[in-house]
């Protein structure tokens, strides 16, 4: 089983595809779960404490907003751990009430910098594109090997 | 600052989303309850949320997928079901994160179609989708057509 980083990291489709074809998806839920299940000081709603932006300094400079650094403390370790990545480029849902455009740019940059197998896609917009989308993901994940 | 004592430590939570003509969230919940053995199950409008030990949750999901493999989708969730920090019963409005799922729900029929098609076709025979980062040169014939269209 290969650890596959998915972007957008909350994606239902990518998370399912990776698990369906026998690998481990690295999604934001796993990073949030770690924090939710760790005792400490109460910091609702996501248990993101003032320590997180400090940890984020590993990936972003001190002038970068704390929001970016705090988010990078969630995603940075997963990007470090991942052995492959699937990126959807037209994912508008990654930016909004919970998302941050600059963090997204940094995540994509770090993935592109890392020497791992990567698959870049757009969301399917028709049935024929859906077939190509699923086939591309299946080919990519099968070629990684070691599926469960 | 108050002390934080987490609940349900060591458990995993997963969403099981169904987008099917044959299976409803109620069917999923019923089947999950039949084999739950102490696992927490919550029925929602889009499917169910399951919380329990990793092994139990995986076992239930494997069984649920058999109901309609190409139309049932699973993803991880950080919070347990009904957590007051996320549950809309306490907050009102859509749960944070639901908007993303709602967007993907509109695309899931295409993905389901792809999964069904792959059972009949070999994935190696299917052409690659457009690679978003590649910016191919403008075809000369296309450029000529554009110039002609502009001039006429």
Neighbouring C-alpha atoms within 13 Å toward the C-beta of B76: 22
Contacting residues for A33 by C-beta, under 8 A, at least 6 apart: B12, B13, B76, B77, B78, B79
Q: Across chain A, which distance is largest between two alpha carbons, in Å?
A: 50
Q: Give the residue extent of every domain in chain B.
A: 12-125
Q: A42 vs B123: CB contact, 8 Å cut-off?
A: no
Relative to beta strand A3-7, strand A24-26 is parallel
Chain B residues touching A43 at Cβ < 8 A? 4
Q: Give the residue extent of every domain in chain A.
A: 3-144
| Mean pLDDT value across residues B140-149 | 93
Structure tokens of A4? 């596959």
Q: Report whether pLDDT(A143) > 80.
A: yes
pLDDT tens per residue, range B42-74: 999 999 999 999 999 999 999 999 999 999 999
* Across A93-97, B45-49, B143-147, least confident range: A93-97
Position A20 confidence tier, pLDDT thresholds 50, 70, 90: very high
Cα separation, A54 vs A32, in Å, equals 17
Give how far A144 is from chain B: nearest CA, Å.
15
- ipTM tops 0.85: yes
In CATH terms, the fold of domain B12-125 is Alpha-Beta Plaits (3.30.70)
**Shortest CB distance from A134 goes to which of B77, B86, B118?**
B118
| Mean pLDDT value across residues A49-71 | 94
* The model's pTM: 0.91
């Amino acid at each position: 089983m290969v650890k596959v980083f998915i972007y957008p990291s909350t994606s239902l489709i990518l998370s399912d595809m990776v698990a369906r074809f026998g690998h481990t998806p690295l999604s934001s839920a796993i990073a949030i779960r770690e924090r939710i299940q760790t005792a400490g000081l109460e910091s609702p709603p996501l248990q993101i404490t003032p320590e997180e932006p400090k940890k984020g300094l590993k990936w972003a400079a001190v002038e970068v907003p704390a929001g970016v650094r705090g988010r990078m403390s969630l995603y940075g370790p997963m990007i470090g751990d991942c052995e492959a990545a699937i990126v959807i480029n037209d994912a508008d849902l990654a930016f909004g009430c919970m998302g941050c455009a600059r963090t997204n740019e940094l995540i994509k940059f770090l993935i592109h910098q890392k020497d791992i197998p990567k698959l870049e896609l757009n969301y399917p917009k028709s049935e024929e594109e859906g077939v190509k989308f699923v086939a591309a993901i299946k080919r990519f994940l099968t070629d990684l090997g070691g599926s469960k | 600052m108050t002390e934080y004592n987490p609940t349900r430590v060591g458990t995993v939570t997963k969403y099981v989303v169904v987008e099917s003509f044959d299976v409803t969230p109620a069917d999923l919940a019923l089947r999950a309850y039949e084999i739950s053995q102490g696992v927490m199950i919550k029925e929602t409008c889009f499917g169910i949320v399951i919380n329990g030990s990793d092994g139990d949750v995986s076992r239930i999901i494997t069984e649920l997928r058999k109901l309609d493999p190409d139309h049932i989708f699973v993803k991880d969730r950080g919070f347990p079901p009904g957590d007051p920090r996320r549950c809309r019963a306490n907050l009102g409005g859509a749960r944070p994160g639901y908007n993303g799922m709602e967007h993907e729900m509109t695309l899931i029929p295409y993905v389901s179609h792809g999964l069904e098609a792959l059972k009949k076709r070999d994935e190696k025979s299917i052409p690659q989708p457009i690679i978003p980062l590649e910016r191919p040169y403008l075809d000369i014939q296309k450029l000529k057509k554009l110039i002609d269209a502009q001039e006429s």
